[in-house]
Amino acid sequence: MSQTGESLKKRILAVDDSAIVLTRISGILRDTYEVITVNSGVRALRYLELEKPDLILLDIQMAQQDGIETLREIRNREECGDIPVIMLTGVETKDAVLESSRLGICDYLLKPFSSAELHKRISRVFEQEEKGEEKP
């Protein structure tokens, strides 16, 4: 059985409680990455029990469990603690950005964002990760 190009793509987990945002992210990224979308922090944590994506796009403001709490739980899981996370937010609040930074995010992106900006931020994370892997 031959490997398809799909299996060679990096996997991104997008977490947002807006179906519109998830559809947009998927549309922007699907040609370059394998995109998995979930509409809550709880569902993201369930997914992470089964799979480990290469990157997580995580909305800060969500019902039930917000992105900060979800990120805190992700970082507390040994098998997930090193997954790069880019936070997405519609409102730039200093406290949320500071708390996200303390929890080890790679970057954050204000909504609405352009396709080019989303690709640029993701590429930067993967480039930094590759450079880090090359170090002895």
Residue 85 CB partners (closer than 8 Å, separation 6+): 55, 56, 57, 58, 71, 74, 104, 105, 106
pTM: 0.90
Please report the pLDDT score of residue 133 as a whole number. 57
Edge-to-edge strands, sheet with 107-110: 34-38, 11-15, 55-59, 85-89, 107-110
Q: At residue 1, does pLDDT exceed 80?
A: no
The number of residues in the chain equals 136
Mean pLDDT of the chain, nearest integer: 90
Summarised one tens digit per residue, pLDDT across range 66-82 is: 999 999 999 999 999 89
Q: At residue 63, does pLDDT exceed 90?
A: no
Summarised one tens digit per residue, pLDDT across range 86-105 is: 999 887 677 888 888 899 99
